[in-house]
Amino acid sequence: MATWDDVQRIAMALPEVTERPSYDQRPAWRVKDKAFAWDRPLRKSDLAALGPTAPDGPVLAASVPDLGAKEALLADNPTVYFTTPHFDGYSAILVRLAEIDLDELTELLTEAWLTRAPKRLAKQYESDH
C-alpha cells in the first residue's frame, strides 16, 4: 500500500522535479514545469460515472506515454488502475493509491516522468540507469 509520502519521495528523487500545487491547490509533481503526477480526487461527475466501483481512497493521476499504454495498464491491473470519462482520449491514468505496491508505483512515476521530461534529460536518465 502506497501513501502520498511515498509518491513525494519517489517523484522528488527524479531529476529536476519540483512539487507545486495544481490549480486546485493539490500536490502536483513537475519536470520543467510539465506535470507528470498529481493528486486527483474524484469529482461528482466521476463518482456518477463510476457508480459503485468508485474508489473511496486517495487517487493519483499520472501521465502515460500514449493511449495504448493506458489501455494496457487498465487491462493488466484493474484493481489498481482506472479512468473516468474526463480522461477519455487523454494520456493519463488514475491510480488507487492504497492498492499499488511501491515497486509498481516507482515504475509508474518513473515512466510518467520520462513521458514529460525534455528529451535530453530523459536520455541522460536512461543512460545512467
pLDDT band, very low/low/confident/very high, at 24 (cuts 50, 70, 90) = confident
User: Which cell goes with 78?
Assistant: 484493474
- The beta strands (E) that lie in 7-52 are given as 17-19, 28-31, 34-39
Predicted pLDDT at 62: 98
- Whole-angstrom Cα Rg for the chain: 14
Task: State pTM to two decimals.
Answer: 0.95
* Nearest C-alpha neighbor of 35 from the set 117, 122, 120: 117
pLDDT band at residue 128, thresholds of 50, 70 and 90?
A: very high
Mean residue pLDDT across the chain: 96
As given in the structure block, the three cell numbers for residue 46 are 466521476
